[in-house]
Amino acid sequence: MPPESDHPLVLFVCTGNICRSPMAEALLRRRLSPDSPWQVESAGLSAMDGAPASLGAAEALRERGIDIGAHRSRPIASADVQRARVIVTLTRDHRDELLAAFPEARQKVFLLRSFDPAAGDDRDIDDPIGGTVGTYRGCRDRIAAAIPGLVEFLEELQASGRSPAL
- Ramachandran class of 116: left when φ > 0, alpha when ψ lies in -120 to 50, beta otherwise: beta
Contact 30, 24 (CB under 8 A): no
Amino acid, res. 57: A
Q: Which of 14, 80, 140, 142 is catalytic?
A: 14
The pTM score is 0.93
Give catalytic status of residue 20 as yes or no: yes
Per-residue confidence (pLDDT) for residue 100, from 0 to 100:
97
Q: What is the pLDDT of residue 160?
A: 86
| Per-residue model confidence (pLDDT) at position 3 | 37
Whether 42 contacts 25, CB under 8 Å: yes
Which of 20, 85, 95, 142 does the annotation list as catalytic? 20
Domain ranges of the chain: 4-160
**Per-residue model confidence as pLDDT tens digits over 115-164:** 999 998 889 999 999 999 999 999 999 999 999 999 999 999 988 877 66
Which CATH class, in words, describes the domain spanning 4-160?
alpha beta
Give dist(CA 108, CA 164) in Å, integer. Answer: 6
**Angle 16-140-111 from CA coordinates, rounded to 5°:** 65
Q: Spell out where 51-160 has E strands.
A: 84-89, 109-111
Catalytic residue among 93, 106, 127, 142: 127
User: pLDDT per residue over 54-87, tens digit each?
Assistant: 999 999 999 999 999 999 999 999 999 999 999 9
For residue 107, what pLDDT band results from cuts at 50, 70 and 90? very high
In the residue annotation, 139 being an active-site residue is answered as no
DSSP classification of residue 100: H
| 113 labelled catalytic | no
